[in-house]
Structure 1
């Protein structure tokens, strides 16, 4: 056994014997004889926070990540003391804290161990910076798997990996490269069919080791700050993810157009070039809702300015694009050019809003405009000022969305690619160095941008996208996975990154379709668009220096594939919008890795490629060139091949044949998939019917459809439509029951019902217990019925 003396000799310090404790409402504090305090706070029966301090007191409790409105309150809390340990018991778990050394273990109510300390909390004094390097190590059992941590370019299961969290501008990053642009210090453990989560809310540079250094030990540590983590008990992964997402917050609904297809390049200019791109989309009938302007739209890369040579009348141009259904999104970076003639710079200087070095001068760094100063977005006054700067762009010119880039923060021509670590920040009244503020700088910029766009877009909804983010950024912004590369490996990476972001609370994410750096082949671009339309954020983006990457940069076959899949996305918009509603209402991730979908099936634990889009569509991208099919795993249950309507029983790996214009897509038996007609942009068409694809299943299945005005805030006043369908399939019967909620009346009056996989020939149809006549020829030949939307029960019987 290692003694405390030996460990101290190695440089690490540990809590010693507990000498006192006090219990106050939902918190219990334990004190050791070497001045360590552990504060345990029971937020919910399955959500417990652990805070350690070695100073004998706690610093101000402040977090940018935790949503102040998160739900908390427990059913049961009991604190007891036995000979060797203290026990904290809730209605879900029991936590034991050893008296001799403060190590803790967490059990379920049946005495099964969920998580236990190995060395537990320990620390090392940081003589270079002051404060502590804080460390935690947990015992890991054989067969335990680990998921989460947000944006990582590695396999979905993190077992055996060591990862680093430090927001970094990693242009053209590679597989397994660390660190990347985003910091989400949250992981999910799965062992013995039980799931738990750990959220280490510490904004310093952090590390996670999942049995990499030592086979049965998982550890996490930070270069400063507090050992402050939340334990979340499942036992289902769904419970862990929804609790974490509730803790760190959920976004508002985006406008529906933001879920359409977006086109971007570095850079579209002058105006005639942008107009050509817009015209080509409409000419080729490839739907598109948003066009982006990169840094070249500005005058000398100065934020909130326009290059009048390229864009002489931005308001007119934005209005003309809007008439054709295009929303304009513009880039805004944090670097403000040092230029005494530049109004934004002058105002920030006068108000003392720029970040400063430790000994007083403003932090100066090179980005696109040359020498820049940088606003301190951790200062509420700076955020308020920044929000106000969007008035002209949004309410006067008519820009519909803002794209924040370079906000890791990225600085050029310096070895560490970012601010010096001695830069000072306000941190909302908790002054600190850049070591602490670095990882949340991008999120606070996106937050200020969001409040500005929201203020001036009102009564419409805002759209903001950011490259860098910390846990909780999803409350303000969508994101993308950064500067990827046009390679097949990066297609594989993109698939995993977006799945991982989805179960890490940040659902509204996508990748640069086709790759940002280098030039994709037509085949790679086609395969990427086939994946990208199943990501919540869907945008083609390229660096432009290698040629064009619009769909028409490739041959007719690729153009046709792009059109086919973008059309499919636009048909599925009500399904995608419903996914988003469930994400913001219940914290349910929009994309579900197979392990999330069915954690009890051990076959899912190491699957990377397949995922469930929403609740009922299984997607598996083609990730290799010249493929005419692939092996894939079908989760348990019955599924229909989307292209052939052939039913497949799951729980096994199968070979799926595909053509170049297809990828393996399957729909869960019993599902009702809502579809709109294809539109060139959201809101282009008025239509009188909603298509419902109904996939027969013996037994029961529930499906839901959420709709509202597609923009604005009336949905918060109850003006939405929420349809709950229950299908019940029998040998010669199909019953569809419909329950409606909400005060929004949809434009359409009918459902076009496609019956798929019906095992009998239809004999009679009853609507609300009244037999109705139907077009037997159309039903037998085309497989569909037209039904008034006001029904509550549809009863189909067979011969």
Structure 2
């Protein structure tokens, strides 16, 4: 009732203003004509054409074309989104344009546009388009109590209202607890009013979130596309889902990319690489990948960038090395950069083929930066993309399994440099995006069955659809560097980049602290990618730490592998719905008072994680969302939701909680993802009397075939529970398709947590079975339940 009344009042008040003598100001903007086209309308005003295009039932693109202004392409949006049902009403004083969920009210004179999700006002243009000699952009009205997230990768706190944010990807070496500008800026606003606003513009610019004027959101740009996209949703998960529907879903990475990846700056020889891998395996620490930094193509940090070929002095037999590592289950990842230094191996070739950014006269733009005198590949040029991909293709055919694109902001991008599609400042934020697209399209064309691994630290909105896996850059190796990592990953996940992760242990500096290292790796188990990386002053690999630190790291890395069924299911959900792996507490509950909480987060639907970020901590406060009971993953202690609890901590664990009623599928620890197999499965069920019914599922496929989830080369196991005073009922069913390595049947062990009394009887498909009951831990164990295509019905009589 209230929402309908609110919508009516807004329309009525607009109409009254028109009725009582509003006249068009010749200097103002007003509607002259309107034309309809598929999915949208074109509004002709006195100084611009405005295209409103429905991208989906939940999103609309608004593209302004001032008279004489050249249109610019969209980098953010998916192509070919399909037909959307729209509705148009052209009244004498206003226009109503809508999808089944989004409604746009357009006052004709003076022009004023308001957006509603169903009947709830999202926001309205304050002045709308800004277009003059001094400024180009947009002005929007903000509600007084509205909270704003977004802006990409920053360390500012979760609610970023009151900040003026530059939109320019730039390196932030050694950052800690505050960073205004970082590697991956995004012109995105996420509102507590359940809308997202994407300014689809890749140029250098600013986004003022109520800093200059308290209730005004102002976007400013040096040029380029004058467009924004409005996305609405019923709740926060659907908002993310609706946004990624139009900007693209992240393809599933190969399963090995979720395992332990070892990296440093950097391994200097073939012998060192082989020794590192051998040491991991001797010390029984699981390992799936190793990253080779700068030294694979040259003996020093400076002077060799752009060679892009193996340094045969240090790596005499690279193909043999990679083949040997692969036989051990370890994949090789190589670093590349877009800078071609003068007098390096590819320099003359790039000059001759005109593959480089140029000056105003069309000559190669040569300049100095940290690594030497350089040029920059014009990644926007089709010929450059083809040339660059040929290098990736050659090395991929020789055994490289993953690619790391570094310095892709680009790190130094002079304003005077010209690309084929414009000057540097006008296309700067699209550079990493196009680079990722180049590699992704190369894999699509030449290795269509292979899932690419593309690590990059800079991009644009929508880069996730090219398989980009971003990391948080050169973070300080300090407690201050660890503290903002949750905030960074949560913010980026809400903006479509669900695989944002950190260099585990910290990157920059020589601070050696076993406690810090341990805490960072413990957190890393519950971040999307587990990859250690650092400058070589302090070892990033656990194999080179003391016995105690190494032992704790080993057990947590093994836990990461044991949780692979749960993690891999989240990966599938992200690929199909865009839902992030790391989720803020408000995400599920809708409680906006939790927006500022950056100390705790949800890991999927069923885990809550609170990393330890203070040295010497013995007690830790954890916020538990209401609506569920929570069980300490390591101690089994039960806590009620809707409160802040203080828990004791030791160096051997961090606070991790499981939601009451949750199903957590796990496997035994294994050495690498090549050995992953779900024939022997342990299903943990966290019984909770307050959770009378609950559901869960597990996704499985071969872990490597591209688009397996699209081509039905997968299966799902579904779990259900129903409880009352007399019994606990659990059902397992299967949606089965064929795929390589599929278990024809499974040996499932059930672990039922929080069973406070020994049950009278346990039945599986109406037959009594043996069980083990642990009175001290309140656990019930049922082993050896064979499962093929028939469902399992387990009944536990109380």
- Whether TM-score is above 0.5 comes out as yes
- Contact preservation (8 Å) 2:148, 2:190: yes
Cα deviation digits, residues 197-224 of structure 1 (max 9, x gap): 1011100113222222222222222121
Secondary structure of the residue aligned to 2:434 is helix
- Contact preservation (8 Å) 1:394, 1:456: no
Shift of the 250–15 alpha-carbon distance from structure 1 to 2, 3 Å rule, reads: farther
CA distance in 2, matches of 1:457, 1:752: 38
Shift of 1:687: 6.5
2:74 maps to what in 1?
63
1:541 maps to what in 2?
533
Shift of the 14–665 alpha-carbon distance from structure 1 to 2, 3 Å rule, reads: farther
Shift of 1:748: 5.9
Shift of the 619–777 alpha-carbon distance from structure 1 to 2, 3 Å rule, reads: closer
Secondary structure of the residue aligned to 2:320 is helix
Task: Please list, as runs of the form range in 1=range in 2, the aligned pairs for 1:212-361 lying within 5 A after superposition.
Answer: 212-299=211-298, 300-339=304-343, 342=345, 344-361=346-363
Per mean C-alpha deviation after superposition, the further-off stretch among 733-742 and 670-679 is 733-742
CA distance in 1, matches of 2:776, 2:621: 34
Secondary structure of the residue aligned to 1:144 is coil
CA distance in 2, matches of 1:797, 1:547: 52
CA distance in 1, matches of 2:106, 2:32: 13
- Contact preservation (8 Å) 2:758, 2:773: no
1:161 maps to what in 2?
163
Secondary structure of the residue aligned to 1:512 is coil
Pair 1:680 & 2:671 matched: yes
1:695 maps to what in 2?
686
Task: Please list, as runs of the form range in 1=range in 2, the aligned pairs for 1:8-19 lying within 5 A after superposition.
Answer: 15-19=28-32
Pair 1:774 & 2:764 matched: no
- Contact preservation (8 Å) 1:765, 1:794: no
Task: Please list, as runs of the form range in 1=range in 2, the aligned pairs for 1:455-470 lying within 5 A after superposition.
Answer: 459-470=449-460
Pair 1:498 & 2:489 matched: yes
CA distance in 2, matches of 1:586, 1:493: 26
Shift of 1:500: 1.1
Shift of 1:407: 1.5
Cα deviation digits, residues 528-577 of structure 1 (max 9, x gap): 11111211112111111x23232244332221221121111111111111
CA distance in 1, matches of 2:190, 2:771: 52
Shift of 1:509: 1.9
Cα deviation digits, residues 474-513 of structure 1 (max 9, x gap): 1222111111101212211111111111111011221111
- Contact preservation (8 Å) 1:754, 1:784: yes
Shift of 1:610: 0.9
Cα deviation digits, residues 225-259 of structure 1 (max 9, x gap): 23200111113121221111121112221111100
Shift of 1:455: 5.6
CA distance in 2, matches of 1:117, 1:369: 46
1:28 maps to what in 2?
41
CA distance in 1, matches of 2:724, 2:77: 47
Shift of 1:747: 6.4
2:546 maps to what in 1?
555
Secondary structure of the residue aligned to 2:143 is coil
1:474 maps to what in 2?
464
Match of 1:90 among 99, 111, 127: 99
Pair 1:78 & 2:88 matched: yes
Shift of the 510–290 alpha-carbon distance from structure 1 to 2, 3 Å rule, reads: same
Pair 1:526 & 2:518 matched: yes
2:700 maps to what in 1?
707
CA distance in 2, matches of 1:109, 1:475: 29
Match of 1:40 among 17, 41, 52: 52
- Contact preservation (8 Å) 1:761, 1:798: no
- Contact preservation (8 Å) 2:36, 2:42: yes
Pair 1:608 & 2:602 matched: no
- Contact preservation (8 Å) 1:202, 1:226: yes
- Contact preservation (8 Å) 1:286, 1:566: yes
Shift of the 718–529 alpha-carbon distance from structure 1 to 2, 3 Å rule, reads: same
1:788 maps to what in 2?
786
1:130 maps to what in 2?
none
CA RMSD, Structure 1 to Structure 2 (Å): 2.3
Secondary structure of the residue aligned to 1:149 is strand
Shift of the 150–789 alpha-carbon distance from structure 1 to 2, 3 Å rule, reads: farther
CA distance in 1, matches of 2:197, 2:408: 26
CA distance in 2, matches of 1:392, 1:242: 37
Task: Please list, as runs of the form range in 1=range in 2, the aligned pairs for 1:361-440 lying within 5 A after superposition.
Answer: 361-366=363-368, 370-396=372-398, 398-410=399-411, 418-426=412-420, 431-440=421-430
- Contact preservation (8 Å) 1:687, 1:748: no
Secondary structure of the residue aligned to 1:517 is coil
1:113 maps to what in 2?
121
- Contact preservation (8 Å) 1:390, 1:456: no
Shift of 1:588: 1.2
Pair 1:51 & 2:51 matched: no
1:717 maps to what in 2?
711
1:413 maps to what in 2?
none
Shift of the 98–170 alpha-carbon distance from structure 1 to 2, 3 Å rule, reads: same
Task: Please list, as runs of the form range in 1=range in 2, the aligned pairs for 1:614-629 lying within 5 A after superposition.
Answer: 614-629=604-619
Cα deviation digits, residues 715-740 of structure 1 (max 9, x gap): 54312111221222222322222332
Shift of 1:108: 4.1
Gaps of 5+ in 1: 1-12, 127-132, 411-417
Per mean C-alpha deviation after superposition, the further-off stretch among 465-474 and 736-745 is 736-745
Pair 1:123 & 2:131 matched: yes
Shift of 1:159: 2.0
Shift of the 113–390 alpha-carbon distance from structure 1 to 2, 3 Å rule, reads: closer
How many residue pairs were aligned?
A: 756
Shift of 1:282: 1.5
| TM-score, L = length of structure 1 | 0.90
